[in-house]
Amino acid sequence: MRHGIWVASACIWLAGCSAPAGIATPTQPVQTRPVQPLIVLDPGHNPSDGGATSVLGTREVGYNDRFVAELAPALQQAGWQVKITRQPEESMSLIGRAQVANELRATVFLSVHHDSVQLRCLRQVQQNGRVAFQTLKPTSGYSLYVSKENGNFARSLQLATDLGEQLRALGRAPMLEHAGKTCGEGRPLLNPGLGIYRYDHLAVLRHNQVPAVLLEVGVITDVQDEAYVDVAANRKKMIAAIVRAMGEFLHS
């Protein structure tokens, strides 16, 4: 995950930056919400930072880009508009990602990541001559994050609940290690059964005015879980679950 960076900035409120969503400046027309629901998908990290390093020595950003590239057409087929914050070769700031959703007045923002644990619970391994990391004990599952500082916390939590219920129904338990202080960060769990954490300072969530959730698809520093997310049929099942969850959320 490696979300330790919180970018403090009041940029969006200052001259020279974009006006906050819903507030029109004299030179900007008021943007109305799109007729069709618009889902903003955000592949976590940038090519330069890469996020976590998997057991196979693959950087997290590649997993995030691939999952979003497969999720986007599935959501479009269900009848919704999709905007991806950045293409695989592009970089974008954390606040910039939230601004995409705010400026488009999106219906939903979903940031996609792949997980790891604290370094003290990883062992360093060599993979084709490259340094890679592996969990000391089996650690698997998805998890979901919401921020109380998000512009619409209630709907963000509803979206996380819909996502958690559908992902849980696939038979894969949520990853709860982040609640602990050994392999995690003592992160508060809002719903242990569905793997929903509260993480107020996550920049992509707290700077978002629209309902926003961060999804950790699986733990890529775990041998079994990296193998799970690397199988196309498993991703297809998870993507179908996310489409069902979006359907429930958008009709609620």
Quick check: 1 binds Zn ion (CB under 5 A)?
yes
Closer residue to Zn ion, CB minimum distance, 52 or 101? 52
Closer residue to Zn ion, CB minimum distance, 94 or 106? 94
Task: For the segment 95-114, give every residue that binds Zn ion (CB under 5 A).
Answer: 113
- Give Cα separations from 99 to 31, 182, 206 (angstroms): 14, 35, 11
50, 59 contact by CB (below 8 A): yes
214, 204 contact by CB (below 8 A): yes
Quote the CA–CA distance of 239 and 193 in Å, as a whole number.
20
Quick check: 66 binds Zn ion (CB under 5 A)?
no
Total number of residues that touch Zn ion (CB under 5 A): 4
In single-letter form, the type of residue at position 19 comes to A
Quick check: 218 binds Zn ion (CB under 5 A)?
no
Q: In the set 37, 44, 141, 195, which binds Zn ion (CB under 5 A)?
A: 44
Sign of CA dihedral 62, 94, 250, 154: positive
Show the binding pattern over residues 144-183: x = contacts Zn ion (CB under 5 A), - = does not. ----------------------------------------
* Shortest CB 18 distance to Zn ion, Å: 25
Q: How many C-beta atoms surround the C-beta of residue 90 within 10 A?
A: 11
Q: Which residues bind Zn ion (CB under 5 A)?
A: 1, 44, 51, 113
